[in-house]
Amino acid sequence: MRLAVLASAVRLAAASRARLLSSAAFPGVQIEQFPCLRDNYGYLLHDVATGATAAIDTPEVAPILSALSRRGWRLSHVLNTHHHHDHAGGNAELVRLTGCHVVAPAAEAEKIGGVSAAVRGGESFALGALRVDVLDVGGHTLGHVAYHLPDAGVAFVGDALFALGCGRLFEGTAAQAHASLQRLAALPRETVLYCAHEYTLANLAFARAVEPGNAALAARGGEIEKLRAHGLPTVPSTLAVELETNPFLRTGSPLLREHLGISADEADVDVFARLRRMKDAA
């Protein structure tokens, strides 16, 4: 980012009535963020030039419809990151109500159902005037994808990567998930990352435990605690911030390895697998 740009672009409304609603503007794009279910975030992605509007996953229908009404937008697409119910469970009702098209990972299209366009990592498609690149980020589920808008500098990463964490490996292997995170890590450092859950406080506790000497993490931790104390979201993040503080992107960190007693010659993928096992057991 442009952390200054994010700070000025994102308007975080005060808690109770606004319920964590926020808006952000990037080149050619407007994004609405709102809470769904217990700890999910819903997103609307709006192309300013054409009016095309996509819901990134469909965790809960009512908040999506409310956000559309609030902004005066018409839903044209759903972009699913993976097949889990808290990401695709609202598809059928939204298609019935709006006639929108469903874009979903090809490897999970049968599980999701009603898919208009099946996409694979390495492909690109147009959402109105916007270019959307599809990234293979399997691991949490086998066919999980992320959606990267290179011109806007934003990526929707679902459950592949969280603020200070990553998704549990329900279907994939550690090697697959590690390779997926390396694809995300190769994006421009200023990329703004929108993940699907507010898990940051729990992830912070784990990150502090495995890399207590990380000064950037110490500073970020204080900011996170202040946001959550006021009921405000810690999402989105940026790739630059995650590279400095997220242990699952820091498998080569000498500080982390020394603290955990991991030798310098242990492969990054094995360190990742060890961290994932530790987090699962925490």
Question: 124 in helix, strand or coil?
Answer: strand
Closest by CA position to 61, among listed 86, 31, 30, 29: 86
Q: Is 77 a catalytic residue?
A: no
CATH class of 3-199: alpha beta
Q: Is 140 a catalytic residue?
A: yes
Q: Which of 87, 144, 148, 178 is catalytic?
A: 87
Q: Which two tokens stand for residue 153?
A: 């500098």
> What pLDDT, on the 0 to 100 scale, is given for residue 147?
99
Mean pLDDT of the 180-206 span: 98
Q: Which two tokens stand for residue 187?
A: 């994006």
> What pLDDT, on the 0 to 100 scale, is given for residue 32?
97
pLDDT tens figures, 34-82: 999 999 999 999 999 999 999 999 999 999 999 999 999 999 999 999 9
> What pLDDT, on the 0 to 100 scale, is given for residue 30?
97
Closest by CA position to 150, among listed 176, 125, 182, 180: 125
Task: Please state, in angstroms and rounded to a whole number, the distance separating the CA atoms of residues 16 and 31.
Answer: 21
Q: Is 85 a catalytic residue?
A: no
Mean pLDDT of the 165-191 span: 98
Closest by CA position to 138, among listed 78, 58, 82, 210: 82
* CA Rg value for the chain: 18
Q: Is 84 a catalytic residue?
A: yes
Mean pLDDT of the 242-253 span: 99
Confidence tier at 23 by pLDDT (50, 70, 90)? confident
Confidence tier at 16 by pLDDT (50, 70, 90)? very low
Q: Is 57 a catalytic residue?
A: no
Alpha carbon 279 to chain centroid distance?
19
Task: Please state, in angstroms and rounded to a whole number, the distance separating the CA atoms of residues 106 and 180.
Answer: 17
Percentage of the chain with pLDDT > 70?
Answer: 93
Q: Which of 47, 86, 133, 136 is catalytic?
A: 86
Q: Is 83 a catalytic residue?
A: no
> What pLDDT, on the 0 to 100 scale, is given for residue 20?
54
H-assigned helices in 24-90: 61-71, 85-88
> What pLDDT, on the 0 to 100 scale, is given for residue 226?
97
> What pLDDT, on the 0 to 100 scale, is given for residue 25?
84
User: Residue 100 gets which letter from DSSP?
Assistant: -
> What pLDDT, on the 0 to 100 scale, is given for residue 2?
41
Look at 16 and 227; give whichever has higher pLDDT: 227
Q: Which of 46, 57, 159, 178 is catalytic?
A: 159
H-assigned helices in 47-167: 61-71, 85-88, 91-98, 109-112
Q: Is the pLDDT of residue 15 over 80?
A: no
Q: Which of 82, 83, 148, 178 is catalytic?
A: 82
Q: Is 86 a catalytic residue?
A: yes
Specify the residue for token string 């699907």.
Answer: 196
Question: 193 in helix, strand or coil?
Answer: strand
